[in-house]
Amino acid sequence: MPEKPGKRRGGSTSAVHGGEREHQQSDAITTPIYQTSTFWFRNSEELIAYQEGRLVREEYGRYGNPTWKAVERKLCELEGADEAVLFASGMCAATTLFFAHLKRGSHLVVTSDCYRRTRQFISEFLTQMGVETTVIDPADTKQLEDALRDETALFFTESPTNPYLRVIDVKEAARVCHARGVRVVIDSTFATPLNHRALDDGADLVVHSATKYLGGHNDLLAGAVCGSSELIEPVRHAVGVLGGITDANTAWLLLRGLKTLGLRMQRHNANALRIARWLEVQPPVRRVWYPLLESHPDHEIAARTLAGGGGVVTFELDTDLAGAIRFTDACELPYIAPSLGGAESLVEMPVTMSFWDIDSNERMKMGITDSLVRYSCGIEDADDLIADLEQALNAI
């Protein structure tokens, strides 16, 4: 049952029902896994009707599959988008979007606090393609305004960002960008459509690593881009050529994961807020970053625009590298692993994980200190997570 125009269902309802009923079969409640690479035509007349656009149907697995179409419809309903495209990973979603919307001579504005591989794609690949980039501070509208040029095609940012959870005032960014004809693209992986619907605030396109909260169980990789039909059309065209599609089994796991998004986000939000407040008053903790803490630089924007702060808490310990490693190794409930947004809590130190191969001076300039920890709260009981954190802090 598609969402009725003008009447918006709650996010949890959309997460359960969005996109499902069109593709169910044999009275099954769940959408089947269409494990097929191609789709047959009854005769040439049917094929020609399809080619002429008189018949809407599947053709070949790179262009569409009913299982992943159900996910795309669900994401559309959740984000309030006309169209969504599903990808093999979040990186595939972002890079395909850049290929589709940038060309030689285009200018791109991005924020400094950003997923490592996205920054790498920009500095290595987009530079080779002849795209110039300006990097700005996440919450500085003045810097954004000053960075825009006649050739600027896109402003791309995460919100909240990684790892400092900076929050963008999307309405304000959209106002500034749209006045210059620039599109706003938000990587909403850390927010999910339940904590923030960026399109409602004026963003033109939303990107997700569905590997994180949308899948929610640390068991799949996928990505998505959502937006208006006009802006999605070139992205859909690009994925049909580049081929970074997901497979039907993964799409089905994502459909299943998404049904509990509402419940999971409530728990991620609640666990992280409690843990952030608790950490803030522990003597071995120098500083905590969480958007809904009064001490966070973007607290005002976060309190005004986000329905929840998400599951990630970043903090700096009052110790050196060895002490921070003792803390991390002493954590018993969370796994030491990259990623976030799953049922299981995960803990990592950026210095030993995603920033490992970055020179320490360079790293310090980025604010990634030796005792920085990123904790992704899962959906366990907060009391147990806090008891575990307490004994790990004592191990420093």
Ligand X SMILES: *Cc1c(COP(=O)(O)O)cnc(C)c1O
Catalytic residues: 62, 115, 187, 212
The smaller minimum CB distance to ligand X, of residues 221 and 258, is found at 221
Q: Is 211 in the site for ligand X (CB under 6 A)?
A: yes
Shortest Cβ 301–ligand X spacing (Å): 18
Member of 101, 212, 264, 268 binding ligand X (CB under 6 A): 212
Residue 359's contacts (CB-CB under 8 Å, 6 or more residues apart) are none
In the region spanning residues 317 to 346, those forming contacts with ligand X, defined by CB under 6 A, are none
Q: How far is the CB of 258 from ligand X (least distance, A)?
A: 15
Q: Which residue, 96 or 211, is less far from ligand X as judged by CB?
A: 211
Among 238, 116, 352, CA closest to 124: 116
Provide the sign of the torsion angle of the four alpha carbons 198, 200, 201, 205, taken in this order. positive
Stretch that binds ligand X, among 63-71, 204-212, 329-337, 364-372 (CB under 6 A): 204-212
Out of 96, 192, 209, 376, point to the residue binding ligand X (CB under 6 A).
209
Distance (Å, whole) CA 271 – CA 265: 10
Q: Which stretch binds ligand X (CB under 6 A): 42-50, 55-63, 87-95, 128-136?
A: 87-95
**Judged by CB under 6 A, how many residues of this single chain contact ligand X?**
15
Enter the tokens of residue 189: 């992986």
For residue 304, give the nearest of 168, 190, 188, 175 by alpha carbon: 168
β-pairing verdict for 312-317 and 335-336: unpaired
385 is an interface residue for ligand X by CB under 6 A? no
Query: Minimum CB separation from ligand X for residue 80, in Å?
Result: 20
| 224 contacts ligand X (rule: CB under 6 A) | no
Spatial distance between the Cα atoms of 348 and 356, rounded to a whole number of angstroms: 12
Nearer residue to ligand X within complex by CB, 185 or 324: 185
Residue type, 362: E
Query: Could you tell me the smallest distance in angstroms from the CB atom of residue 143 to ligand X?
Result: 21
User: Does residue 160 have a cis bond before it (omega within 30 degrees)?
Assistant: yes
Q: Does 223 bind ligand X (CB under 6 A)?
A: yes
**Block residue for tokens 């929840």:** 308
64 binds ligand X, rule: CB under 6 A: no
For 345-373, the DSSP string reads: -EEE-TTTTTTTTS-HHHHHHTT--TTEE
Closest distance of CB 87 from ligand X, Å: 8
Phi-psi region of 292 (alpha: psi -120 to 50; beta: other; left: phi over 0): alpha
Instruction: Return the exposure string of 73-86: e unless at least 16 CB atoms fall within 10 Å of the residue's CB, then b.
Output: bbbbbbbbbebbbb
Tell me how far, at minimum, the Cβ of 187 lies from ligand X, in Å. 5
Among 14, 106, 152, 162, binds ligand X (CB under 6 A): 162
Q: Which of 75, 110, 205, 221 binds ligand X (CB under 6 A)?
A: 221
Cα separation of 186 and 267, whole Å? 24
Q: Closer to ligand X at the Cβ: 19 or 341? A: 341
Please choose, out of 57-65, 197-205, 206-214, 267-275, the segment that lies near ligand X by the rule CB under 6 A. 206-214
> Contact positions toward ligand X, by CB under 6 A?
89-91, 115, 118, 158, 162, 187, 189-190, 209, 211-212, 221, 223
